[in-house]
Amino acid sequence: MKTTTIKPLLKSFLLLISISLPFYVLFRLLAITPTSTTSPLTPQNPLTDLRMRPGFSSYESYIKRQLDKTLNPKLREIWTTRDWERKVLVFGQFFQELKMHHLLSNDSKALCIGARVGQEVAALRGIGVVDSVGIDLVPYPPLVIKGDFHSQPFDNETFDFEFSNVFDHALFPVKFVAEIERTLKPGGVCVLHVAISRRSDKYSANDLFSLKPLIEMFKVSEVVHVRKVDGFGLDTEVVFRKKNVQQY
Ligand SMILES: *[C@@H]1O[C@H](CO)[C@@H](O)[C@H](O)[C@H]1NC(C)=O
Ligand SMILES: *[C@@H]1O[C@H](CO)[C@@H](O)[C@H](O)[C@H]1NC(C)=O
């Protein structure tokens, strides 16, 4: 019969598979190991679509550069006078749209990251999100309190909503994102305005060439939406929602 000649062949084939499978699995594991270990000495994301700008020899020199802009009396004068109403109005429109999409409500506890003089905080309070505050290296009471976004001065799971348009100012983008995820409540929403197709200002510490590295940095959140915006030199809005289940 035909089957009697096939059976021994099949048997030896199965034997071969069962012997080689453990080796295959072992080699796969060995091959994966090097890529899954990231050096603690490189806090910057190595992905090429996120490029760190050269010129910051230390964290101190980075802070000094940021303070130069934040404390510039001419800029501060413009921010608090000529710029004020227009920016509060435009931020108010952005936030109203987020409200309509149920990503923000009057009851949200909200944080604006890198808020300088706090136009976005004024906009939030103006549309009824009264429990909102900003952080920046230089405080501007009562809207903005002192805080470095690389190490937010808040407990875990504090906010329902966080907004920022200063991702490009982060010297340690991974830390910037990790701090947002740490201080957001489960189910909390993070809205970022970033520049993808154009370059941002001379105070930027990084340049983003696609959303990929940014999305990969969010470990416990999912993307809610991405859309084009015209946000004071920033062209893309990305909205994340922190997952409800603790996964870390
Ligand atoms: C939110 O606050 C605004 C401004 O105070 C108010 O007009 C609006 O009715 C409030 N919305 C809700 C749903 O309470
Ligand atoms: C806060 O969150 C961080 C990271 O998500 C975690 O490592 C840390 O243990 C948490 N701290 C507390 C007090 O729960």
* Extents of the domains making up the chain: 1-35, 49-242
The mean pLDDT value for 77-93 works out to: 94
Give the type of residue at 2.
Answer: K
What's the 160 CA to ligand 1 centre distance in angstroms? 17
Backbone φ and ψ for 242, nearest 5 degrees, come out as -70, 135
CATH code linked to domain 49-242: 3.40.50.150
What's the 106 CA to ligand 1 centre distance in angstroms? 6
| Beta-strand pair 110-113/221-231 | unpaired
Cis peptide before 141 (omega within 30 of 0): no
| pLDDT of the residue at 5 | 55
Tell me if 182 CB under 6 Å of ligand 2.
yes
Binned at pLDDT 50, 70 and 90, residue 92 comes out as very high
Portion of the chain with pLDDT greater than 90, in percent:
62
Is the four-CA dihedral 186, 247, 167, 56 of positive or negative sign?
positive
What is this structure's pTM? 0.80
| pLDDT of the residue at 194 | 95
Q: Which 3 state secondary structure label does DSSP give 52?
A: strand
| pLDDT of the residue at 80 | 93
Tell me if 231 CB under 6 Å of ligand 1.
no
Binned at pLDDT 50, 70 and 90, residue 41 comes out as very low
Tell me if 126 CB under 6 Å of ligand 1.
no
Query: What are residue 162's DSSP bridge partners?
Result: 111, 190
- Is 79's pLDDT higher than 70? yes
Taking alpha carbons only, the member of 157, 170, 153 closest to residue 56 is: 170
The mean pLDDT value for 243-247 works out to: 72
Q: Which region among 27-41, 65-79, 132-146 has the lowest average model confidence (pLDDT)? A: 27-41
Closest-approaching ligand to the CA atom of 126: 1
With tokens 């809005």, the residue in question is 237
Backbone φ and ψ for 184, nearest 5 degrees, come out as -80, 145
CA-nearest residue, atom 14 of ligand 2: 156
What's the 111 CA to ligand 1 centre distance in angstroms? 19
- Is 31's pLDDT higher than 60? no
Q: What is the mean pLDDT of the chain?
A: 85
- Is 200's pLDDT higher than 80? no
Backbone φ/ψ region at 80: left (φ over 0), alpha (ψ -120 to 50), beta: alpha
pLDDT in tens, 136-177: 999 999 999 999 999 999 999 999 999 999 999 999 999 999
